[in-house]
Protein backbone atom coordinates (compact mmCIF):
# COMPACT_ATOMS: atom_id res chain seq x y z
CA UNK A 1 0.00 0.00 0.00
CA UNK A 2 1.16 3.54 -0.71
CA UNK A 3 0.94 5.47 2.57
CA UNK A 4 2.70 8.64 1.45
CA UNK A 5 0.91 11.68 -0.02
CA UNK A 6 -2.31 9.68 -0.51
CA UNK A 7 -5.75 9.33 1.12
CA UNK A 8 -4.52 6.49 3.35
CA UNK A 9 -5.49 7.47 6.90
CA UNK A 10 -3.82 6.46 10.15
CA UNK A 11 -6.03 6.81 13.24
CA UNK A 12 -4.52 7.55 16.65
CA UNK A 13 -6.49 7.02 19.86
CA UNK A 14 -5.21 9.60 22.34
CA UNK A 15 -4.00 13.08 21.58
CA UNK A 16 -1.37 13.66 24.27
CA UNK A 17 2.35 14.28 23.97
CA UNK A 18 3.12 10.78 22.65
CA UNK A 19 0.63 11.29 19.83
CA UNK A 20 2.03 14.75 19.15
CA UNK A 21 5.56 13.35 18.79
CA UNK A 22 4.19 10.57 16.55
CA UNK A 23 2.76 13.32 14.36
CA UNK A 24 6.28 14.77 13.88
CA UNK A 25 6.92 11.60 11.88
CA UNK A 26 3.63 11.44 9.95
CA UNK A 27 4.19 15.09 8.95
CA UNK A 28 7.74 14.22 7.85
CA UNK A 29 6.37 11.51 5.56
CA UNK A 30 3.10 13.23 4.60
CA UNK A 31 0.87 10.51 6.06
CA UNK A 32 -2.73 11.57 6.67
CA UNK A 33 -3.90 11.25 10.31
CA UNK A 34 -7.07 11.39 12.41
CA UNK A 35 -6.84 11.79 16.22
CA UNK A 36 -9.44 11.16 18.95
CA UNK A 37 -9.00 12.65 22.43
CA UNK A 38 -11.33 13.76 25.25
CA UNK A 39 -9.67 17.19 25.61
CA UNK A 40 -10.43 20.12 23.31
CA UNK A 41 -6.88 21.36 24.03
CA UNK A 42 -5.05 18.07 23.34
CA UNK A 43 -1.43 18.61 22.21
CA UNK A 44 -2.15 16.65 18.98
CA UNK A 45 -4.82 19.06 17.81
CA UNK A 46 -2.41 21.42 16.04
CA UNK A 47 -0.67 18.78 13.90
CA UNK A 48 -3.32 16.28 12.74
CA UNK A 49 -5.42 16.43 9.56
CA UNK A 50 -8.62 15.75 11.51
CA UNK A 51 -9.24 16.04 15.26
CA UNK A 52 -12.25 14.63 17.08
CA UNK A 53 -13.08 15.29 20.71
CA UNK A 54 -14.57 12.23 22.39
CA UNK A 55 -14.40 9.64 25.18
CA UNK A 56 -11.74 6.98 24.55
CA UNK A 57 -13.58 4.54 26.84
CA UNK A 58 -16.93 4.89 25.02
CA UNK A 59 -17.63 1.94 22.69
CA UNK A 60 -19.59 3.88 20.07
CA UNK A 61 -17.16 6.79 19.93
CA UNK A 62 -14.09 4.55 19.44
CA UNK A 63 -15.88 2.19 17.03
CA UNK A 64 -17.20 4.99 14.78
CA UNK A 65 -13.83 6.76 14.81
CA UNK A 66 -12.06 3.52 13.86
CA UNK A 67 -14.40 2.81 10.94
CA UNK A 68 -13.17 5.98 9.19
CA UNK A 69 -9.44 5.15 9.20
CA UNK A 70 -7.34 2.49 7.45
CA UNK A 71 -5.09 1.46 10.37
CA UNK A 72 -5.74 2.27 14.02
CA UNK A 73 -3.12 2.68 16.75
CA UNK A 74 -3.11 4.23 20.23
CA UNK A 75 -0.82 6.30 22.44
CA UNK A 76 -2.56 5.47 25.72
CA UNK A 77 -3.81 2.16 27.15
CA UNK A 78 -7.09 3.60 28.49
CA UNK A 79 -9.22 2.88 25.43
CA UNK A 80 -12.32 0.73 24.84
CA UNK A 81 -11.00 -2.76 23.98
CA UNK A 82 -14.43 -4.11 22.99
CA UNK A 83 -14.62 -1.48 20.24
CA UNK A 84 -11.15 -2.53 19.00
CA UNK A 85 -12.23 -6.18 18.98
CA UNK A 86 -15.37 -5.33 16.96
CA UNK A 87 -13.30 -3.35 14.44
CA UNK A 88 -10.83 -6.24 14.09
CA UNK A 89 -13.70 -8.70 13.55
CA UNK A 90 -14.80 -6.50 10.63
CA UNK A 91 -11.32 -6.61 9.08
CA UNK A 92 -9.90 -3.34 10.40
CA UNK A 93 -6.17 -3.41 11.23
CA UNK A 94 -5.54 -2.40 14.85
CA UNK A 95 -1.88 -2.29 16.00
CA UNK A 96 -1.05 -3.25 18.71
CA UNK A 97 -3.98 -5.68 18.66
CA UNK A 98 -6.95 -5.70 21.03
CA UNK A 99 -5.65 -9.05 22.39
CA UNK A 100 -2.28 -7.48 23.24
CA UNK A 101 -3.97 -4.54 24.95
CA UNK A 102 -6.32 -6.84 26.89
CA UNK A 103 -3.32 -8.64 28.39
CA UNK A 104 -1.69 -5.35 29.43
CA UNK A 105 -4.48 -2.92 30.32
CA UNK A 106 -5.22 -4.59 33.70
CA UNK A 107 -1.99 -4.96 35.69
CA UNK A 108 -3.34 -8.04 37.47
CA UNK A 109 -3.91 -9.75 34.11
CA UNK A 110 -0.48 -8.53 32.96
CA UNK A 111 1.28 -10.03 36.00
CA UNK A 112 -0.55 -13.34 35.59
CA UNK A 113 0.51 -13.32 31.92
CA UNK A 114 4.17 -13.22 33.00
CA UNK A 115 3.63 -16.12 35.38
CA UNK A 116 1.86 -18.18 32.71
CA UNK A 117 4.71 -17.54 30.22
CA UNK A 118 7.60 -18.19 32.64
CA UNK A 119 8.75 -14.56 32.49
CA UNK A 120 10.73 -13.48 35.57
CA UNK A 121 8.82 -10.96 37.68
CA UNK A 122 8.53 -10.01 41.38
CA UNK A 123 6.34 -12.42 43.43
CA UNK A 124 2.79 -11.04 43.65
CA UNK A 125 -0.79 -11.61 44.75
CA UNK A 126 -3.98 -10.10 43.33
CA UNK A 127 -6.84 -8.84 45.54
CA UNK A 128 -10.30 -7.93 44.29
CA UNK A 129 -10.65 -4.98 46.66
CA UNK A 130 -8.94 -3.05 49.45
CA UNK A 131 -11.27 -4.81 51.90
CA UNK A 132 -9.86 -8.19 50.88
CA UNK A 133 -6.34 -6.86 51.35
CA UNK A 134 -7.17 -5.36 54.76
CA UNK A 135 -8.49 -8.73 55.88
CA UNK A 136 -5.22 -10.44 54.95
CA UNK A 137 -3.25 -7.73 56.80
CA UNK A 138 -5.54 -8.09 59.87
CA UNK A 139 -4.84 -11.84 59.88
CA UNK A 140 -1.10 -11.04 59.63
CA UNK A 141 -0.74 -13.17 56.51
CA UNK A 142 1.33 -10.51 54.79
CA UNK A 143 4.45 -8.70 55.96
CA UNK A 144 5.40 -5.04 55.63
CA UNK A 145 6.85 -3.40 53.62
CA UNK A 146 5.31 -4.31 50.25
CA UNK A 147 4.39 -2.60 46.96
CA UNK A 148 0.72 -1.82 46.25
CA UNK A 149 -0.41 -1.27 42.66
CA UNK A 150 -3.85 -0.45 41.38
CA UNK A 151 -4.87 -2.97 38.69
CA UNK A 152 -6.28 -0.21 36.48
CA UNK A 153 -5.91 3.51 35.96
CA UNK A 154 -2.32 4.04 37.15
CA UNK A 155 0.04 6.35 35.24
CA UNK A 156 2.96 8.74 35.86
CA UNK A 157 3.59 7.46 39.38
CA UNK A 158 -0.10 7.33 40.33
CA UNK A 159 -1.49 3.95 41.33
CA UNK A 160 1.77 2.72 42.92
CA UNK A 161 2.71 3.01 46.60
CA UNK A 162 5.17 1.43 49.01
CA UNK A 163 3.20 0.29 52.06
CA UNK A 164 5.27 0.34 55.25
CA UNK A 165 2.37 0.16 57.74
CA UNK A 166 -1.42 -0.38 57.71
CA UNK A 167 -2.12 3.39 57.84
CA UNK A 168 -0.46 3.81 54.42
CA UNK A 169 -3.42 2.01 52.87
CA UNK A 170 -6.02 4.57 54.03
CA UNK A 171 -5.75 7.03 51.08
CA UNK A 172 -5.58 4.30 48.40
CA UNK A 173 -8.43 3.36 46.07
CA UNK A 174 -10.93 0.62 46.99
CA UNK A 175 -10.50 -1.22 43.69
CA UNK A 176 -8.68 -4.40 42.69
CA UNK A 177 -4.96 -4.29 43.38
CA UNK A 178 -1.70 -6.22 43.19
CA UNK A 179 0.63 -6.72 46.12
CA UNK A 180 4.27 -7.31 45.19
CA UNK A 181 7.27 -8.21 47.26
CA UNK A 182 9.54 -5.20 47.73
CA UNK A 183 12.60 -6.29 45.77
CA UNK A 184 15.99 -4.75 46.61
CA UNK A 185 17.43 -3.69 43.27
CA UNK A 186 20.49 -1.93 41.87
CA UNK A 187 18.86 -0.32 38.86
CA UNK A 188 15.57 0.28 37.11
CA UNK A 189 16.08 -0.44 33.43
CA UNK A 190 13.97 -0.38 30.27
CA UNK A 191 14.23 -1.84 26.78
CA UNK A 192 12.02 -0.83 23.86
CA UNK A 193 11.23 -3.62 21.39
CA UNK A 194 9.89 -2.91 17.90
CA UNK A 195 8.01 -5.59 15.92
CA UNK A 196 6.21 -5.39 12.57
CA UNK A 197 3.50 -7.73 11.17
CA UNK A 198 6.12 -9.51 9.04
CA UNK A 199 7.86 -10.60 12.25
CA UNK A 200 10.94 -8.37 12.07
CA UNK A 201 12.07 -7.54 15.63
CA UNK A 202 14.61 -4.99 16.90
CA UNK A 203 15.55 -3.80 20.37
CA UNK A 204 16.88 -0.43 21.46
CA UNK A 205 19.84 -0.22 23.85
CA UNK A 206 19.09 -0.68 27.54
CA UNK A 207 18.33 2.58 29.34
CA UNK A 208 18.70 3.34 33.02
CA UNK A 209 15.93 5.23 34.82
CA UNK A 210 16.48 7.42 37.86
CA UNK A 211 13.28 8.15 39.78
CA UNK A 212 12.10 11.16 41.77
CA UNK A 213 11.88 9.94 45.38
CA UNK A 214 8.54 11.64 46.16
CA UNK A 215 6.58 11.68 42.90
CA UNK A 216 7.53 8.09 41.89
CA UNK A 217 8.18 9.51 38.40
CA UNK A 218 11.18 9.07 36.15
CA UNK A 219 13.49 12.05 36.63
CA UNK A 220 16.36 11.05 34.31
CA UNK A 221 16.65 8.45 31.53
CA UNK A 222 20.25 7.58 30.66
CA UNK A 223 21.25 5.80 27.43
CA UNK A 224 23.19 3.60 27.38
CA UNK A 225 22.59 2.27 30.89
CA UNK A 226 25.73 2.22 33.02
CA UNK A 227 25.72 -1.59 33.42
CA UNK A 228 27.89 -4.54 32.37
CA UNK A 229 27.51 -5.82 28.80
CA UNK A 230 26.41 -9.22 30.12
CA UNK A 231 23.58 -7.62 32.12
CA UNK A 232 22.57 -5.50 29.11
CA UNK A 233 22.40 -8.62 26.92
CA UNK A 234 20.29 -10.39 29.54
CA UNK A 235 17.88 -7.43 29.63
CA UNK A 236 17.55 -7.23 25.83
CA UNK A 237 17.05 -11.01 25.54
CA UNK A 238 14.34 -10.91 28.21
CA UNK A 239 12.63 -8.00 26.43
CA UNK A 240 12.52 -10.06 23.21
CA UNK A 241 11.04 -13.00 25.15
CA UNK A 242 8.32 -10.69 26.52
CA UNK A 243 7.69 -9.29 23.02
CA UNK A 244 7.32 -12.81 21.58
CA UNK A 245 4.86 -13.74 24.32
CA UNK A 246 2.63 -10.73 23.62
CA UNK A 247 3.06 -11.00 19.81
CA UNK A 248 2.53 -7.24 19.67
CA UNK A 249 2.90 -5.06 16.59
CA UNK A 250 4.45 -1.63 17.11
CA UNK A 251 6.53 -0.75 20.14
CA UNK A 252 6.65 -2.50 23.50
CA UNK A 253 8.47 -0.71 26.33
CA UNK A 254 9.61 -3.29 28.89
CA UNK A 255 10.45 -1.87 32.33
CA UNK A 256 12.72 -4.04 34.48
CA UNK A 257 14.58 -4.34 37.76
CA UNK A 258 18.24 -5.36 37.99
CA UNK A 259 18.50 -7.16 41.33
CA UNK A 260 21.48 -7.14 43.68
CA UNK A 261 22.68 -10.43 42.14
CA UNK A 262 22.17 -9.19 38.55
CA UNK A 263 18.95 -11.06 37.85
CA UNK A 264 16.52 -9.20 35.58
CA UNK A 265 12.84 -9.05 36.55
CA UNK A 266 10.06 -7.57 34.41
CA UNK A 267 8.17 -4.82 36.24
CA UNK A 268 5.56 -3.83 33.64
CA UNK A 269 5.17 -3.02 29.95
CA UNK A 270 3.57 -0.36 27.77
CA UNK A 271 2.48 -1.21 24.17
CA UNK A 272 3.32 2.20 22.69
CA UNK A 273 6.06 4.82 22.52
CA UNK A 274 7.28 5.46 26.04
CA UNK A 275 8.95 8.04 28.26
CA UNK A 276 12.06 5.83 28.42
CA UNK A 277 12.52 6.26 24.63
CA UNK A 278 12.27 10.05 24.32
CA UNK A 279 16.07 10.37 24.28
CA UNK A 280 15.97 8.65 20.86
CA UNK A 281 14.65 11.76 19.07
CA UNK A 282 18.09 13.37 19.34
CA UNK A 283 20.36 10.42 20.17
CA UNK A 284 19.31 7.51 17.90
CA UNK A 285 19.51 6.77 14.19
CA UNK A 286 15.78 5.94 14.25
CA UNK A 287 13.73 7.58 16.98
CA UNK A 288 11.02 5.56 18.73
CA UNK A 289 8.12 7.46 17.13
CA UNK A 290 9.35 6.88 13.57
CA UNK A 291 9.98 3.25 14.54
CA UNK A 292 6.41 2.85 15.77
CA UNK A 293 5.08 4.20 12.46
CA UNK A 294 7.42 1.89 10.51
CA UNK A 295 6.28 -1.09 12.56
CA UNK A 296 2.51 -0.62 12.33
CA UNK A 297 2.72 0.09 8.57
CA UNK A 298 4.84 -3.08 8.11
CA UNK A 299 7.77 -1.10 6.74
CA UNK A 300 11.39 -2.20 7.34
CA UNK A 301 12.46 -1.35 10.89
CA UNK A 302 15.14 1.32 11.29
CA UNK A 303 18.54 1.20 12.97
CA UNK A 304 18.07 1.29 16.77
CA UNK A 305 21.70 2.17 17.60
CA UNK A 306 22.56 5.43 19.32
CA UNK A 307 24.58 8.05 17.45
CA UNK A 308 25.67 9.62 20.73
CA UNK A 309 25.12 9.28 24.49
CA UNK A 310 21.82 10.76 25.64
CA UNK A 311 20.18 11.77 28.91
CA UNK A 312 16.54 12.82 29.14
CA UNK A 313 15.10 15.03 31.89
CA UNK A 314 11.34 15.14 32.43
CA UNK A 315 9.88 18.63 32.82
CA UNK A 316 7.13 18.41 35.42
CA UNK A 317 5.02 21.05 37.09
CA UNK A 318 6.62 22.58 40.19
CA UNK A 319 5.06 21.90 43.58
CA UNK A 320 2.66 24.63 44.69
CA UNK A 321 1.96 25.77 41.11
CA UNK A 322 -1.38 25.29 39.36
CA UNK A 323 -2.59 27.41 36.46
CA UNK A 324 -1.45 28.81 33.09
CA UNK A 325 2.06 27.51 32.48
CA UNK A 326 5.32 29.45 32.20
CA UNK A 327 8.72 27.87 31.45
CA UNK A 328 11.05 29.91 33.65
CA UNK A 329 14.73 30.16 32.53
CA UNK A 330 14.19 28.21 29.30
CA UNK A 331 16.55 30.60 27.49
CA UNK A 332 19.31 29.66 29.96
CA UNK A 333 19.08 25.95 29.17
CA UNK A 334 18.99 26.73 25.42
CA UNK A 335 22.46 28.24 25.87
CA UNK A 336 23.83 24.93 27.22
CA UNK A 337 25.70 22.50 24.98
CA UNK A 338 23.68 19.66 23.40
CA UNK A 339 20.38 20.66 25.03
CA UNK A 340 17.03 20.30 23.23
CA UNK A 341 13.76 21.07 25.05
CA UNK A 342 10.42 19.58 23.96
CA UNK A 343 7.32 21.43 25.15
CA UNK A 344 4.19 19.27 24.97
CA UNK A 345 1.62 22.02 24.58
CA UNK A 346 -0.37 21.49 27.78
CA UNK A 347 -1.59 24.94 28.73
CA UNK A 348 -2.18 24.28 32.44
CA UNK A 349 0.50 23.17 34.88
CA UNK A 350 -0.11 21.14 38.04
CA UNK A 351 2.37 19.72 40.58
CA UNK A 352 4.30 16.83 38.97
CA UNK A 353 2.27 16.95 35.73
CA UNK A 354 4.45 16.03 32.74
CA UNK A 355 4.72 19.23 30.69
CA UNK A 356 7.73 18.46 28.52
CA UNK A 357 11.17 16.92 28.47
CA UNK A 358 14.74 17.96 27.68
CA UNK A 359 17.31 15.78 25.93
CA UNK A 360 21.03 16.31 26.49
CA UNK A 361 23.43 14.65 24.04
CA UNK A 362 27.18 14.34 24.45
CA UNK A 363 29.90 11.90 23.41
CA UNK A 364 30.75 11.63 27.09
CA UNK A 365 27.78 10.22 29.03
CA UNK A 366 29.05 11.58 32.37
CA UNK A 367 29.20 15.08 30.87
CA UNK A 368 25.64 14.66 29.53
CA UNK A 369 24.47 13.54 32.99
CA UNK A 370 26.04 16.56 34.73
CA UNK A 371 24.53 18.97 32.15
CA UNK A 372 21.18 17.23 32.76
CA UNK A 373 21.47 18.02 36.46
CA UNK A 374 22.22 21.65 35.61
CA UNK A 375 19.14 21.71 33.35
CA UNK A 376 17.02 20.26 36.15
CA UNK A 377 18.21 22.94 38.58
CA UNK A 378 17.76 25.79 36.08
CA UNK A 379 14.42 25.42 34.32
CA UNK A 380 11.20 25.66 36.33
CA UNK A 381 7.68 24.83 35.21
CA UNK A 382 5.56 27.35 37.11
CA UNK A 383 2.20 29.09 36.91
CA UNK A 384 2.12 32.61 35.46
169 is in an annotated binding site: no
**Does 180 count as an annotated binding residue?**
yes
Q: Annotated binding residue at 267?
A: yes
Three-class HEC string of the chain: CCCCCCCCEEEEECCCHHHHHHHHHHHHCCCEEEEEECCCCCHHHHCCCEEEECCCCCHHHHHHHHHCCCEEEECCCCCCHHHHHHHHHCCCEECCCHHHHHHHHCHHHHHHHHHHCCCCECCEEEECCHHHHHHHHHCCCCCCCEEEEECCCCCCCCCEEEECCHHHHCCCCCCCEEEEECCCEEEEEEEEEEECCCCCEEECCCEEEEECCCCCCEEEEEECCCCCHHHHHHHHHHHHHHHHHHCCCEEEEEEEEEECCCCEEEEEEECCCCHHHCCHHHHECCCHHHHHHHHHCCCCCCCCCECCEEEEEEEECCCCCCEEEEEECHHHHHCCCCEEEEECCCCEECCCCEEEEEEEEECCHHHHHHHHHHHHHHCEEEEC
CA–CA separation, 79 vs 55, rounded Å?
9
Q: Is 188 annotated as a binding residue?
A: yes
181 annotated as belonging to a binding site for a ligand: yes
Q: How far apart are the first and last CA of the chain?
A: 48
182 is in an annotated binding site: yes
Known binding residue 107? Answer is yes
CA 242 to chain centre: 16
3-class secondary-structure state, position 306: strand
Distances in Å between the alpha carbon of 300 and those of 31, 204, 250, 255, 291? 17, 15, 12, 25, 9
Cβ atoms of residues 215 and 316 within 8 Å = yes
- C-alpha 84/C-alpha 339 separation (Å) is 40
DSSP-derived 3-state class of residue 179: strand
Known binding-site residues equal 107, 149, 180-183, 188, 267-268
Known binding-site residues for ATP equal 107, 149, 180-183, 188, 267-268
Amino acid sequence: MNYFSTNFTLGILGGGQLGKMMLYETRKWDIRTHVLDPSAEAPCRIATDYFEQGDLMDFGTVYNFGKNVDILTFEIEGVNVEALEKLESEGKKVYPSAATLRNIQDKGVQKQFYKDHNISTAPFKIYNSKNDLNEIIFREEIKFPFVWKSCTGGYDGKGVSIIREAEDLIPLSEDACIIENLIPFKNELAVIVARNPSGEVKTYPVVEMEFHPEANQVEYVICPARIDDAVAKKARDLAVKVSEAFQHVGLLAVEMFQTEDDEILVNEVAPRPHNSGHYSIEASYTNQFEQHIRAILDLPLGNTDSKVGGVMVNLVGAEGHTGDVRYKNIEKILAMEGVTPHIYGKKETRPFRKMGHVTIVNKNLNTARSIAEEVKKTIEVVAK
